[in-house]
Chains A and B, each alone.
Chain A
Amino acid sequence: MQDSGQPAVEAQRILDEAARYADQTPALESLFAAFGPVLAERARLRAEAPGWRGELPTVDAERFSQGVFVLADSGFQDVSPELPAAAVRLLPVMERAFPALAEELAALGRALAEGGLEPELLTRAAFSEAPVSVPGVSRDTLRFAASELVKPFIERQARDIIGLVTELPWRRGMCPVCGGAPNFSLLRKVRDESEFIQAHGGQRLMHCSVCSSQWRCKRVSCPACGNENPEELFNLRVEGRPFERADICRACKTYVLCLDTVEFVDIPDADVAALAMLPLDLLVRKEGYAPLAGHPWSPGI
Protein backbone atom coordinates (compact mmCIF):
# COMPACT_ATOMS: atom_id res chain seq x y z
CA MET A 1 0.00 0.00 0.00
CA GLN A 2 1.33 3.44 -0.87
CA ASP A 3 0.69 5.76 1.96
CA SER A 4 0.96 9.48 2.26
CA GLY A 5 0.29 9.36 6.00
CA GLN A 6 -2.07 12.33 5.63
CA PRO A 7 -5.54 11.43 6.90
CA ALA A 8 -7.53 13.44 4.35
CA VAL A 9 -5.41 12.31 1.39
CA GLU A 10 -5.65 8.68 2.45
CA ALA A 11 -9.41 8.82 2.85
CA GLN A 12 -9.94 10.59 -0.46
CA ARG A 13 -7.78 8.09 -2.29
CA ILE A 14 -9.95 5.26 -1.04
CA LEU A 15 -13.15 7.05 -2.02
CA ASP A 16 -11.75 7.71 -5.50
CA GLU A 17 -10.71 4.10 -5.91
CA ALA A 18 -14.09 2.87 -4.72
CA ALA A 19 -15.78 5.19 -7.22
CA ARG A 20 -13.58 3.94 -10.04
CA TYR A 21 -14.25 0.30 -9.23
CA ALA A 22 -17.98 0.95 -8.86
CA ASP A 23 -17.88 2.47 -12.34
CA GLN A 24 -16.23 -0.64 -13.74
CA THR A 25 -18.55 -3.06 -11.97
CA PRO A 26 -22.03 -1.55 -11.72
CA ALA A 27 -23.28 -4.75 -10.08
CA LEU A 28 -21.15 -3.94 -7.05
CA GLU A 29 -22.07 -0.28 -6.90
CA SER A 30 -24.13 -0.56 -3.74
CA LEU A 31 -21.42 -2.54 -1.97
CA PHE A 32 -18.87 0.15 -2.78
CA ALA A 33 -21.31 2.85 -1.75
CA ALA A 34 -21.64 1.13 1.62
CA PHE A 35 -18.06 0.03 2.32
CA GLY A 36 -16.25 2.93 0.59
CA PRO A 37 -16.98 5.52 3.31
CA VAL A 38 -16.29 2.95 6.06
CA LEU A 39 -12.89 2.09 4.59
CA ALA A 40 -12.19 5.78 4.11
CA GLU A 41 -13.00 6.61 7.73
CA ARG A 42 -10.88 3.69 8.85
CA ALA A 43 -7.99 5.04 6.76
CA ARG A 44 -8.41 8.42 8.40
CA LEU A 45 -8.36 6.86 11.88
CA ARG A 46 -5.31 4.81 10.93
CA ALA A 47 -3.39 7.83 9.70
CA GLU A 48 -4.14 9.64 12.96
CA ALA A 49 -3.55 6.64 15.24
CA PRO A 50 -0.65 6.71 17.73
CA GLY A 51 1.18 3.65 16.41
CA TRP A 52 3.52 1.62 18.58
CA ARG A 53 4.23 3.43 21.84
CA GLY A 54 7.62 3.35 23.49
CA GLU A 55 10.46 1.12 22.49
CA LEU A 56 9.90 -1.25 19.58
CA PRO A 57 10.09 -4.95 20.39
CA THR A 58 13.44 -6.60 19.79
CA VAL A 59 13.54 -9.24 17.11
CA ASP A 60 15.52 -12.41 17.64
CA ALA A 61 16.62 -13.11 14.05
CA GLU A 62 17.23 -16.76 14.88
CA ARG A 63 13.75 -17.40 16.23
CA PHE A 64 12.23 -15.27 13.50
CA SER A 65 13.91 -17.39 10.85
CA GLN A 66 12.36 -20.43 12.50
CA GLY A 67 8.93 -18.94 11.96
CA VAL A 68 8.26 -17.12 15.23
CA PHE A 69 6.51 -13.89 14.21
CA VAL A 70 7.45 -10.62 15.90
CA LEU A 71 4.48 -10.28 18.24
CA ALA A 72 4.23 -14.00 19.08
CA ASP A 73 4.92 -13.37 22.78
CA SER A 74 3.52 -9.92 23.41
CA GLY A 75 0.69 -9.35 20.96
CA PHE A 76 -0.36 -5.84 20.01
CA GLN A 77 -0.41 -3.05 22.55
CA ASP A 78 -3.82 -2.43 24.03
CA VAL A 79 -5.89 -0.21 21.78
CA SER A 80 -8.91 -0.02 24.11
CA PRO A 81 -8.31 3.59 25.26
CA GLU A 82 -8.66 4.73 21.64
CA LEU A 83 -11.97 3.01 20.99
CA PRO A 84 -14.58 5.38 22.52
CA ALA A 85 -13.36 8.32 20.42
CA ALA A 86 -13.02 6.14 17.34
CA ALA A 87 -16.56 4.84 17.83
CA VAL A 88 -17.96 8.37 17.79
CA ARG A 89 -16.50 8.75 14.31
CA LEU A 90 -16.79 5.31 12.76
CA LEU A 91 -20.12 4.03 14.06
CA PRO A 92 -22.23 6.81 12.47
CA VAL A 93 -20.54 6.11 9.13
CA MET A 94 -21.33 2.43 9.55
CA GLU A 95 -24.92 3.23 10.47
CA ARG A 96 -25.36 5.08 7.19
CA ALA A 97 -23.57 2.33 5.28
CA PHE A 98 -25.61 -0.54 6.74
CA PRO A 99 -29.11 0.74 7.48
CA ALA A 100 -30.22 -2.74 8.53
CA LEU A 101 -27.69 -2.65 11.38
CA ALA A 102 -28.18 1.00 12.24
CA GLU A 103 -30.18 0.41 15.38
CA GLU A 104 -27.74 -2.09 16.79
CA LEU A 105 -24.75 0.09 15.94
CA ALA A 106 -26.42 3.05 17.63
CA ALA A 107 -27.07 0.93 20.72
CA LEU A 108 -23.43 -0.10 20.75
CA GLY A 109 -22.37 3.54 20.50
CA ARG A 110 -24.59 4.46 23.42
CA ALA A 111 -23.32 1.59 25.54
CA LEU A 112 -19.75 2.73 24.99
CA ALA A 113 -20.51 6.38 25.62
CA GLU A 114 -22.55 5.76 28.75
CA GLY A 115 -20.18 3.27 30.32
CA GLY A 116 -22.38 0.22 29.77
CA LEU A 117 -19.58 -1.41 27.80
CA GLU A 118 -15.93 -1.32 28.80
CA PRO A 119 -13.66 -0.59 25.83
CA GLU A 120 -11.47 -3.54 26.92
CA LEU A 121 -14.38 -5.88 26.32
CA LEU A 122 -14.87 -4.45 22.85
CA THR A 123 -11.22 -5.20 22.05
CA ARG A 124 -11.70 -8.75 23.26
CA ALA A 125 -14.81 -9.10 21.14
CA ALA A 126 -12.79 -8.04 18.11
CA PHE A 127 -10.38 -10.90 18.68
CA SER A 128 -13.20 -13.26 19.72
CA GLU A 129 -11.42 -13.88 22.98
CA ALA A 130 -14.44 -13.66 25.20
CA PRO A 131 -18.17 -13.86 24.75
CA VAL A 132 -19.34 -10.31 25.21
CA SER A 133 -22.94 -9.29 25.17
CA VAL A 134 -24.46 -5.86 24.82
CA PRO A 135 -28.21 -5.44 25.09
CA GLY A 136 -29.81 -4.81 21.71
CA VAL A 137 -26.69 -5.81 19.76
CA SER A 138 -26.35 -9.21 18.14
CA ARG A 139 -23.13 -11.13 18.57
CA ASP A 140 -22.29 -10.84 14.84
CA THR A 141 -22.85 -7.11 14.70
CA LEU A 142 -20.78 -6.64 17.83
CA ARG A 143 -17.94 -8.63 16.41
CA PHE A 144 -18.12 -6.82 13.05
CA ALA A 145 -18.17 -3.37 14.64
CA ALA A 146 -15.48 -4.27 17.15
CA SER A 147 -13.06 -5.50 14.53
CA GLU A 148 -13.69 -2.48 12.31
CA LEU A 149 -12.95 -0.20 15.28
CA VAL A 150 -9.84 -2.02 16.41
CA LYS A 151 -8.37 -2.50 12.97
CA PRO A 152 -6.99 0.98 12.19
CA PHE A 153 -5.04 1.04 15.46
CA ILE A 154 -3.64 -2.44 14.96
CA GLU A 155 -2.68 -1.59 11.39
CA ARG A 156 -0.92 1.54 12.53
CA GLN A 157 1.10 -0.40 15.12
CA ALA A 158 1.98 -3.04 12.53
CA ARG A 159 3.37 -0.35 10.25
CA ASP A 160 5.89 0.57 12.89
CA ILE A 161 6.83 -3.06 13.45
CA ILE A 162 7.13 -4.40 9.91
CA GLY A 163 10.20 -2.22 9.31
CA LEU A 164 12.06 -4.32 11.88
CA VAL A 165 11.93 -7.41 9.69
CA THR A 166 11.75 -6.27 6.07
CA GLU A 167 15.38 -7.27 5.55
CA LEU A 168 15.02 -10.68 7.21
CA PRO A 169 14.02 -13.76 5.23
CA TRP A 170 10.44 -14.92 5.78
CA ARG A 171 8.71 -17.10 3.23
CA ARG A 172 5.79 -18.32 5.29
CA GLY A 173 2.10 -18.12 4.70
CA MET A 174 1.35 -16.29 7.92
CA CYS A 175 2.04 -12.69 8.81
CA PRO A 176 5.57 -12.00 10.08
CA VAL A 177 4.21 -9.34 12.44
CA CYS A 178 1.15 -10.92 14.06
CA GLY A 179 0.86 -14.42 12.65
CA GLY A 180 -2.44 -13.62 10.90
CA ALA A 181 -3.57 -15.39 7.74
CA PRO A 182 -3.62 -13.57 4.39
CA ASN A 183 -6.98 -12.59 2.91
CA PHE A 184 -5.49 -11.03 -0.20
CA SER A 185 -2.27 -11.03 -2.18
CA LEU A 186 -0.77 -9.08 -5.02
CA LEU A 187 1.85 -9.15 -7.69
CA ARG A 188 3.88 -5.98 -7.72
CA LYS A 189 6.37 -4.62 -10.19
CA VAL A 190 9.81 -3.98 -8.77
CA ARG A 191 12.07 -1.34 -10.18
CA ASP A 192 15.43 -2.93 -10.50
CA GLU A 193 18.24 -0.44 -10.18
CA SER A 194 20.66 -2.76 -11.91
CA GLU A 195 21.06 -2.19 -15.62
CA PHE A 196 19.49 -5.52 -16.41
CA ILE A 197 16.11 -6.14 -17.90
CA GLN A 198 13.29 -5.35 -15.50
CA ALA A 199 11.42 -8.36 -14.22
CA HIS A 200 8.00 -8.35 -15.85
CA GLY A 201 6.36 -10.92 -13.61
CA GLY A 202 6.59 -9.02 -10.36
CA GLN A 203 6.93 -10.01 -6.72
CA ARG A 204 4.20 -11.88 -4.90
CA LEU A 205 3.09 -10.24 -1.65
CA MET A 206 0.65 -11.58 0.93
CA HIS A 207 -1.64 -9.17 2.80
CA CYS A 208 -2.49 -9.88 6.43
CA SER A 209 -6.19 -10.09 7.27
CA VAL A 210 -5.53 -8.88 10.81
CA CYS A 211 -2.94 -6.09 10.64
CA SER A 212 -2.65 -5.47 6.86
CA SER A 213 1.11 -6.02 6.83
CA GLN A 214 2.43 -7.26 3.52
CA TRP A 215 5.23 -9.75 3.04
CA ARG A 216 6.91 -11.54 0.18
CA CYS A 217 6.00 -15.09 -0.57
CA LYS A 218 7.23 -17.65 -3.10
CA ARG A 219 5.40 -17.27 -6.40
CA VAL A 220 4.51 -20.91 -6.87
CA SER A 221 3.51 -22.13 -3.43
CA CYS A 222 0.41 -22.43 -1.31
CA PRO A 223 0.56 -20.03 1.66
CA ALA A 224 -1.58 -22.39 3.72
CA CYS A 225 0.14 -25.76 3.35
CA GLY A 226 3.39 -24.87 1.61
CA ASN A 227 2.62 -27.12 -1.34
CA GLU A 228 4.86 -26.29 -4.30
CA ASN A 229 3.62 -28.88 -6.75
CA PRO A 230 2.55 -26.90 -9.82
CA GLU A 231 0.08 -29.66 -10.75
CA GLU A 232 -1.92 -28.93 -7.63
CA LEU A 233 -1.76 -25.15 -7.81
CA PHE A 234 -3.99 -23.35 -10.26
CA ASN A 235 -6.04 -20.21 -10.53
CA LEU A 236 -9.52 -19.11 -11.46
CA ARG A 237 -10.66 -15.82 -12.91
CA VAL A 238 -13.89 -14.11 -13.77
CA GLU A 239 -14.38 -13.19 -17.41
CA GLY A 240 -13.44 -9.63 -18.27
CA ARG A 241 -11.29 -9.14 -15.14
CA PRO A 242 -7.83 -10.04 -16.41
CA PHE A 243 -5.91 -8.70 -13.41
CA GLU A 244 -7.82 -10.55 -10.72
CA ARG A 245 -7.53 -14.21 -9.87
CA ALA A 246 -7.83 -16.67 -7.04
CA ASP A 247 -4.71 -18.73 -6.37
CA ILE A 248 -5.99 -22.15 -5.42
CA CYS A 249 -4.39 -25.21 -3.85
CA ARG A 250 -5.99 -28.56 -4.63
CA ALA A 251 -4.07 -30.24 -1.84
CA CYS A 252 -5.49 -28.27 1.09
CA LYS A 253 -8.54 -26.87 -0.73
CA THR A 254 -7.85 -23.25 0.12
CA TYR A 255 -7.40 -20.12 -1.95
CA VAL A 256 -6.17 -16.58 -1.65
CA LEU A 257 -7.28 -13.68 -3.83
CA CYS A 258 -4.52 -12.23 -6.00
CA LEU A 259 -4.38 -8.91 -7.83
CA ASP A 260 -1.80 -8.50 -10.58
CA THR A 261 -0.75 -4.83 -10.32
CA VAL A 262 2.25 -5.06 -12.62
CA GLU A 263 0.47 -2.96 -15.27
CA PHE A 264 -1.16 -0.57 -12.80
CA VAL A 265 -0.38 3.09 -12.35
CA ASP A 266 -1.30 2.99 -8.65
CA ILE A 267 -1.59 0.02 -6.36
CA PRO A 268 -5.13 0.19 -5.01
CA ASP A 269 -6.06 -0.19 -1.36
CA ALA A 270 -6.13 -3.91 -0.60
CA ASP A 271 -9.64 -3.85 0.85
CA VAL A 272 -11.11 -1.85 -2.01
CA ALA A 273 -9.48 -4.21 -4.50
CA ALA A 274 -10.66 -7.29 -2.63
CA LEU A 275 -14.21 -5.95 -2.49
CA ALA A 276 -14.20 -5.74 -6.28
CA MET A 277 -13.28 -9.43 -6.34
CA LEU A 278 -16.39 -10.57 -4.49
CA PRO A 279 -17.90 -12.30 -7.57
CA LEU A 280 -14.67 -14.28 -7.87
CA ASP A 281 -14.79 -15.12 -4.16
CA LEU A 282 -18.26 -16.54 -4.60
CA LEU A 283 -17.29 -18.53 -7.65
CA VAL A 284 -14.32 -20.17 -5.97
CA ARG A 285 -16.33 -21.02 -2.86
CA LYS A 286 -18.92 -22.67 -5.07
CA GLU A 287 -16.13 -24.83 -6.43
CA GLY A 288 -15.54 -26.01 -2.89
CA TYR A 289 -12.51 -24.04 -1.80
CA ALA A 290 -12.19 -21.99 1.38
CA PRO A 291 -10.36 -18.67 1.80
CA LEU A 292 -7.44 -18.57 4.22
CA ALA A 293 -9.14 -15.59 5.83
CA GLY A 294 -12.17 -13.55 4.97
CA HIS A 295 -13.31 -9.96 4.73
CA PRO A 296 -16.23 -8.37 6.55
CA TRP A 297 -18.27 -8.77 3.36
CA SER A 298 -17.28 -12.40 2.84
CA PRO A 299 -20.24 -14.73 2.89
CA GLY A 300 -20.36 -16.93 5.94
CA ILE A 301 -17.54 -15.26 7.84
Chain B
Amino acid sequence: MPKAFLIDTTRCTACRGCQVACKEWKNLPAVPTKQTGTHQNPPDLNPFNLKLVRFSEHMVDNKVAWYFFPDQCRHCLEAPCKQASSVEGAIIQDAATGAVIYTEKTAQEDFDVIRGACPYDIPRQNPQTKQIVKCDMCIDRVKANLLPMCVKTCAMGAMNFGERADMLKLAAERLAVVKKTAPKARLLNPDDVAVIFLVADEPKKYHEFAVAEGPGAMTRKQVLAGAFAPFRRLARAMQG
Protein backbone atom coordinates (compact mmCIF):
# COMPACT_ATOMS: atom_id res chain seq x y z
CA MET B 1 0.00 0.00 0.00
CA PRO B 2 1.43 3.41 -0.88
CA LYS B 3 2.81 5.38 2.02
CA ALA B 4 2.77 9.11 2.62
CA PHE B 5 4.10 11.77 4.96
CA LEU B 6 2.16 14.66 6.40
CA ILE B 7 4.54 17.45 7.37
CA ASP B 8 2.54 19.79 9.54
CA THR B 9 4.69 22.93 9.57
CA THR B 10 2.38 24.55 12.10
CA ARG B 11 3.64 22.11 14.72
CA CYS B 12 7.32 22.42 13.80
CA THR B 13 9.49 24.28 16.31
CA ALA B 14 12.64 23.99 14.21
CA CYS B 15 14.44 21.84 16.73
CA ARG B 16 16.24 20.17 13.77
CA GLY B 17 15.89 16.76 15.39
CA CYS B 18 14.79 15.26 12.05
CA GLN B 19 17.69 16.81 10.18
CA VAL B 20 20.22 15.43 12.65
CA ALA B 21 18.54 12.02 12.91
CA CYS B 22 18.54 11.67 9.12
CA LYS B 23 22.21 12.49 8.92
CA GLU B 24 23.08 10.06 11.68
CA TRP B 25 21.03 7.19 10.30
CA LYS B 26 22.54 7.66 6.86
CA ASN B 27 26.02 8.03 8.33
CA LEU B 28 26.61 11.22 6.40
CA PRO B 29 29.70 13.33 7.15
CA ALA B 30 29.68 16.83 8.59
CA VAL B 31 29.73 19.69 6.10
CA PRO B 32 31.33 23.10 6.53
CA THR B 33 28.58 25.65 6.92
CA LYS B 34 28.62 29.35 6.31
CA GLN B 35 26.82 32.13 8.06
CA THR B 36 24.12 33.29 5.69
CA GLY B 37 22.38 35.71 7.96
CA THR B 38 19.64 33.22 8.82
CA HIS B 39 19.45 30.44 11.34
CA GLN B 40 19.26 27.88 8.57
CA ASN B 41 22.19 25.60 8.92
CA PRO B 42 23.55 24.35 6.57
CA PRO B 43 22.34 26.98 4.09
CA ASP B 44 20.87 24.49 1.63
CA LEU B 45 20.32 20.83 0.93
CA ASN B 46 23.60 19.20 -0.07
CA PRO B 47 24.79 15.67 -0.76
CA PHE B 48 25.25 15.12 2.97
CA ASN B 49 22.05 16.80 4.19
CA LEU B 50 19.03 15.17 2.59
CA LYS B 51 16.67 16.81 5.02
CA LEU B 52 16.91 20.50 5.89
CA VAL B 53 14.81 22.64 8.18
CA ARG B 54 14.50 25.92 6.28
CA PHE B 55 14.05 29.12 8.30
CA SER B 56 12.67 32.38 7.07
CA GLU B 57 11.50 35.45 8.91
CA HIS B 58 8.64 37.70 7.93
CA MET B 59 6.99 40.73 9.38
CA VAL B 60 3.48 39.81 10.37
CA ASP B 61 1.37 42.43 12.13
CA ASN B 62 4.49 44.40 12.98
CA LYS B 63 6.10 41.43 14.59
CA VAL B 64 8.82 39.14 13.36
CA ALA B 65 7.42 35.72 12.64
CA TRP B 66 9.53 32.68 11.95
CA TYR B 67 8.47 30.20 9.31
CA PHE B 68 9.90 26.71 9.48
CA PHE B 69 9.94 24.27 6.60
CA PRO B 70 11.47 20.80 7.07
CA ASP B 71 12.34 20.33 3.38
CA GLN B 72 12.94 16.99 1.68
CA CYS B 73 12.11 14.96 -1.43
CA ARG B 74 8.34 14.75 -2.00
CA HIS B 75 8.41 11.23 -3.47
CA CYS B 76 6.19 12.44 -6.31
CA LEU B 77 3.57 9.97 -7.45
CA GLU B 78 4.66 10.50 -11.08
CA ALA B 79 8.18 11.65 -10.37
CA PRO B 80 9.42 14.22 -12.91
CA CYS B 81 13.01 13.35 -12.03
CA LYS B 82 12.31 9.76 -12.96
CA GLN B 83 10.64 10.81 -16.19
CA ALA B 84 13.69 12.88 -17.03
CA SER B 85 16.06 10.02 -16.32
CA SER B 86 17.87 8.53 -19.29
CA VAL B 87 19.77 5.74 -17.52
CA GLU B 88 17.88 2.50 -17.01
CA GLY B 89 17.64 1.61 -13.33
CA ALA B 90 19.11 4.89 -12.06
CA ILE B 91 15.85 6.24 -10.65
CA ILE B 92 13.30 3.68 -9.57
CA GLN B 93 10.03 3.75 -7.72
CA ASP B 94 9.35 1.09 -5.11
CA ALA B 95 5.98 -0.39 -5.97
CA ALA B 96 4.91 -1.24 -2.43
CA THR B 97 5.66 2.09 -0.75
CA GLY B 98 5.85 4.54 -3.63
CA ALA B 99 9.35 5.66 -2.57
CA VAL B 100 11.39 7.23 -5.36
CA ILE B 101 14.90 5.80 -5.07
CA TYR B 102 18.18 6.90 -6.63
CA THR B 103 20.65 4.08 -7.25
CA GLU B 104 24.39 4.28 -7.84
CA LYS B 105 23.62 4.36 -11.57
CA THR B 106 22.60 8.01 -11.13
CA ALA B 107 26.33 8.72 -11.47
CA GLN B 108 25.79 8.26 -15.22
CA GLU B 109 22.92 10.75 -15.40
CA ASP B 110 23.16 14.36 -16.47
CA PHE B 111 22.85 15.98 -13.08
CA ASP B 112 21.53 19.30 -14.41
CA VAL B 113 18.72 17.55 -16.22
CA ILE B 114 17.67 15.59 -13.15
CA ARG B 115 17.87 18.54 -10.78
CA GLY B 116 16.18 20.78 -13.34
CA ALA B 117 13.30 18.32 -13.66
CA CYS B 118 12.48 18.43 -9.96
CA PRO B 119 9.85 21.08 -9.25
CA TYR B 120 11.04 21.23 -5.64
CA ASP B 121 14.78 21.50 -6.34
CA ILE B 122 15.74 18.46 -4.29
CA PRO B 123 18.42 16.37 -6.05
CA ARG B 124 22.09 17.02 -5.19
CA GLN B 125 25.27 15.46 -6.49
CA ASN B 126 28.10 13.92 -4.55
CA PRO B 127 31.20 15.60 -6.02
CA GLN B 128 33.40 12.54 -5.53
CA THR B 129 31.18 9.69 -6.67
CA LYS B 130 29.04 11.81 -9.03
CA GLN B 131 26.03 9.98 -7.66
CA ILE B 132 22.86 11.99 -7.37
CA VAL B 133 21.32 11.77 -3.91
CA LYS B 134 18.21 12.66 -1.98
CA CYS B 135 15.94 11.27 0.75
CA ASP B 136 15.02 7.62 0.12
CA MET B 137 12.11 7.51 2.61
CA CYS B 138 14.43 5.45 4.84
CA ILE B 139 13.33 2.55 2.68
CA ASP B 140 15.46 0.11 4.70
CA ARG B 141 13.50 1.03 7.82
CA VAL B 142 10.08 1.23 6.20
CA LYS B 143 10.52 -2.24 4.70
CA ALA B 144 11.12 -3.44 8.26
CA ASN B 145 7.91 -1.68 9.42
CA LEU B 146 9.89 1.09 11.12
CA LEU B 147 9.12 4.78 10.75
CA PRO B 148 11.57 6.95 8.78
CA MET B 149 14.12 8.44 11.17
CA CYS B 150 12.83 11.99 10.77
CA VAL B 151 9.33 10.87 11.76
CA LYS B 152 10.55 8.74 14.61
CA THR B 153 12.52 11.65 16.00
CA CYS B 154 9.95 14.40 15.76
CA ALA B 155 8.53 15.01 19.21
CA MET B 156 6.11 17.72 18.10
CA GLY B 157 3.89 15.71 15.79
CA ALA B 158 5.05 17.75 12.77
CA MET B 159 6.38 14.68 10.95
CA ASN B 160 3.74 12.00 10.34
CA PHE B 161 3.95 8.85 8.25
CA GLY B 162 1.59 6.03 7.31
CA GLU B 163 -0.82 4.75 4.70
CA ARG B 164 -1.55 7.41 2.10
CA ALA B 165 -5.28 7.25 2.79
CA ASP B 166 -4.70 7.78 6.52
CA MET B 167 -2.33 10.69 5.93
CA LEU B 168 -4.78 12.40 3.56
CA LYS B 169 -7.43 12.07 6.22
CA LEU B 170 -5.16 13.46 8.92
CA ALA B 171 -4.12 16.27 6.55
CA ALA B 172 -7.74 17.26 5.94
CA GLU B 173 -8.47 17.24 9.67
CA ARG B 174 -5.44 19.33 10.55
CA LEU B 175 -6.12 21.74 7.70
CA ALA B 176 -9.63 22.36 8.99
CA VAL B 177 -8.26 23.14 12.45
CA VAL B 178 -5.45 25.40 11.24
CA LYS B 179 -7.74 27.29 8.88
CA LYS B 180 -9.74 28.60 11.80
CA THR B 181 -6.85 30.86 12.77
CA ALA B 182 -4.95 30.99 9.48
CA PRO B 183 -7.34 31.37 6.55
CA LYS B 184 -4.52 31.08 4.01
CA ALA B 185 -3.57 27.63 5.26
CA ARG B 186 -3.31 24.95 2.57
CA LEU B 187 -1.84 21.60 1.65
CA LEU B 188 0.93 21.63 -0.95
CA ASN B 189 0.32 19.53 -4.07
CA PRO B 190 -1.51 16.80 -2.13
CA ASP B 191 -2.62 15.02 -5.31
CA ASP B 192 0.86 14.80 -6.79
CA VAL B 193 3.20 13.95 -3.97
CA ALA B 194 3.67 11.48 -1.13
CA VAL B 195 5.16 14.13 1.17
CA ILE B 196 2.35 16.53 1.85
CA PHE B 197 3.13 19.81 3.57
CA LEU B 198 0.59 21.76 5.55
CA VAL B 199 1.47 25.46 5.61
CA ALA B 200 -0.36 28.31 7.32
CA ASP B 201 0.59 31.08 4.88
CA GLU B 202 1.75 31.67 1.29
CA PRO B 203 4.03 28.75 0.38
CA LYS B 204 6.63 31.08 -1.14
CA LYS B 205 7.11 32.69 2.23
CA TYR B 206 8.42 29.37 3.49
CA HIS B 207 10.63 28.48 0.61
CA GLU B 208 10.90 29.41 -3.03
CA PHE B 209 10.28 25.83 -4.19
CA ALA B 210 7.82 24.83 -1.50
CA VAL B 211 5.01 24.27 -3.97
CA ALA B 212 4.88 23.28 -7.64
CA GLU B 213 2.71 25.73 -9.48
CA GLY B 214 2.36 26.01 -13.21
CA PRO B 215 0.95 28.83 -15.31
CA GLY B 216 -2.75 28.28 -15.91
CA ALA B 217 -2.53 27.25 -19.55
CA MET B 218 -0.26 24.31 -18.89
CA THR B 219 -1.49 21.09 -17.40
CA ARG B 220 0.22 20.20 -14.19
CA LYS B 221 1.66 17.18 -15.86
CA GLN B 222 3.36 19.25 -18.54
CA VAL B 223 4.71 21.51 -15.90
CA LEU B 224 5.91 18.65 -13.81
CA ALA B 225 7.33 16.95 -16.89
CA GLY B 226 9.99 19.59 -17.03
CA ALA B 227 8.55 22.34 -19.19
CA PHE B 228 9.37 24.47 -16.21
CA ALA B 229 12.95 23.38 -15.83
CA PRO B 230 14.60 26.31 -17.64
CA PHE B 231 12.87 28.80 -15.36
CA ARG B 232 13.90 26.82 -12.39
CA ARG B 233 17.49 26.77 -13.47
CA LEU B 234 17.35 30.48 -14.13
CA ALA B 235 15.93 31.11 -10.71
CA ARG B 236 18.74 29.15 -9.19
CA ALA B 237 21.34 30.98 -11.21
CA MET B 238 19.97 34.25 -9.94
CA GLN B 239 20.08 33.00 -6.38
CA GLY B 240 23.81 32.47 -6.88
A interface residues, Cβ below 8 angstroms from B: 20, 24, 191-192, 195, 197-198, 200, 263-266, 268
Residue contact B146 to A264, C-beta cutoff 8 Å: yes
Return the chain A residue nearest B166 by Cβ: A2
Residue contact B145 to A265, C-beta cutoff 8 Å: yes
Instruction: Give the docked Cα–Cα distance between A242 and B147 (Å).
Output: 15
B interface residues, Cβ below 8 angstroms from A: 3, 11, 142, 144-147, 152, 154-157, 160-163
Residue contact A265 to B155, C-beta cutoff 8 Å: no
Residue contact A268 to B157, C-beta cutoff 8 Å: no
Residues of B within 8 A of A20 (CB): 144-145
Residue contact B145 to A264, C-beta cutoff 8 Å: yes
Instruction: Give the docked Cα–Cα distance between A192 and B156 (Å).
Output: 9
Residue contact A263 to B152, C-beta cutoff 8 Å: yes
| Given A20-B144, A268-B145; 13 other pairs, CB 8 A cutoff | A191-B157, A195-B11, A197-B155, A198-B157, A264-B146, A264-B147, A265-B3, A265-B142, A265-B145, A265-B146, A265-B161, A265-B162, A266-B162
Residues of A within 8 A of B146 (CB): 263-265
Known contacts A265-B3, A265-B142, A265-B162; decide if A198 and B147 are in contact (CB<8 Å): no
Residues of A within 8 A of B144 (CB): 20, 24
Task: Count contacts between A and B, CB distance < 8 Å.
Answer: 31
Instruction: Give the docked Cα–Cα distance between A192 and B8 (Å).
Output: 14
Which of A191, A195, A200, A264 contacts B155, CB < 8 Å?
A200
Known contacts A263-B146, A264-B147, A265-B142; decide if A197 and B156 are in contact (CB<8 Å): yes
Which of B145, B156, B160 contacts A266, CB < 8 Å?
B145
Q: Which 5 A-B pairs have the closest CB atoms?
A: A198-B157, A197-B155, A263-B152, A264-B145, A263-B146
Residues of A within 8 A of B11 (CB): 195
Instruction: Give the docked Cα–Cα distance between A192 and B11 (Å).
Output: 12
Instruction: Give the docked Cα–Cα distance between A268 and B146 (Å).
Output: 11
Instruction: Give the docked Cα–Cα distance between A264 and B145 (Å).
Output: 5
Instruction: Give the docked Cα–Cα distance between A119 and B236 (Å).
Output: 75
Instruction: Give the docked Cα–Cα distance between A4 and B145 (Å).
Output: 18
Instruction: Give the docked Cα–Cα distance between A296 and B147 (Å).
Output: 31
A-B pairs with beta carbons under 8 Å apart, 29 shown: A20-B144, A20-B145, A24-B144, A191-B157, A191-B160, A192-B157, A195-B11, A197-B155, A197-B156, A198-B154, A198-B155, A198-B156, A198-B157, A200-B155, A263-B147, A263-B152, A264-B145, A264-B146, A264-B147, A265-B3, A265-B142, A265-B145, A265-B146, A265-B147, A265-B161, A266-B145, A266-B162, A266-B163, A268-B145
The smallest C-beta distance from B199 to any residue of chain A, in angstroms, reads 17
Residues of A within 8 A of B156 (CB): 197-198
Instruction: Give the docked Cα–Cα distance between A24 and B140 (Å).
Output: 13
Select the residue from B154, B156, B160 with max chain A CB neighbours within 10 A: B156
The smallest C-beta distance from A32 to any residue of chain B, in angstroms, reads 15
Residues of B within 8 A of A200 (CB): 155
Instruction: Give the docked Cα–Cα distance between A197 and B145 (Å).
Output: 24
Residues of B within 8 A of A191 (CB): 157, 160
The smallest C-beta distance from A191 to any residue of chain B, in angstroms, reads 6
Instruction: Give the docked Cα–Cα distance between A264 and B156 (Å).
Output: 17
Select the residue from A192, A197, A265 with max chain B CB neighbours within 10 A: A265
Instruction: Give the docked Cα–Cα distance between A157 and B3 (Å).
Output: 31
Instruction: Give the docked Cα–Cα distance between A268 and B11 (Å).
Output: 28
Return the chain B residue nearest A192 by Cβ: B157
Return the chain B residue nearest A194 by Cβ: B157
Residues of A within 8 A of B161 (CB): 265
Residues of A within 8 A of B147 (CB): 263-265
The smallest C-beta distance from B153 to any residue of chain A, in angstroms, reads 10
Return the chain A residue nearest B13 by Cβ: A197
Instruction: Give the docked Cα–Cα distance between A20 and B96 (Å).
Output: 13
The smallest C-beta distance from B160 to any residue of chain A, in angstroms, reads 8
Residues of A within 8 A of B157 (CB): 191-192, 198
Select the residue from A24, A192, A198 with max chain B CB neighbours within 10 A: A198
Instruction: Give the docked Cα–Cα distance between A263 and B3 (Å).
Output: 15
The smallest C-beta distance from B157 to any residue of chain A, in angstroms, reads 5
Instruction: Give the docked Cα–Cα distance between A20 and B147 (Å).
Output: 16
Instruction: Give the docked Cα–Cα distance between A265 and B160 (Å).
Output: 10
The smallest C-beta distance from B74 to any residue of chain A, in angstroms, reads 18
Residues of A within 8 A of B160 (CB): 191
Return the chain A residue nearest B154 by Cβ: A198
Select the residue from A20, A195, A263 with max chain B CB neighbours within 10 A: A263
The smallest C-beta distance from B207 to any residue of chain A, in angstroms, reads 23
The smallest C-beta distance from A57 to any residue of chain B, in angstroms, reads 32
The smallest C-beta distance from A112 to any residue of chain B, in angstroms, reads 37
Instruction: Give the docked Cα–Cα distance between A235 and B172 (Å).
Output: 41
Residues of B within 8 A of A198 (CB): 154-157
The smallest C-beta distance from B139 to any residue of chain A, in angstroms, reads 12
Instruction: Give the docked Cα–Cα distance between A210 and B140 (Å).
Output: 36
Return the chain B residue nearest A13 by Cβ: B1
Instruction: Give the docked Cα–Cα distance between A197 and B15 (Å).
Output: 12
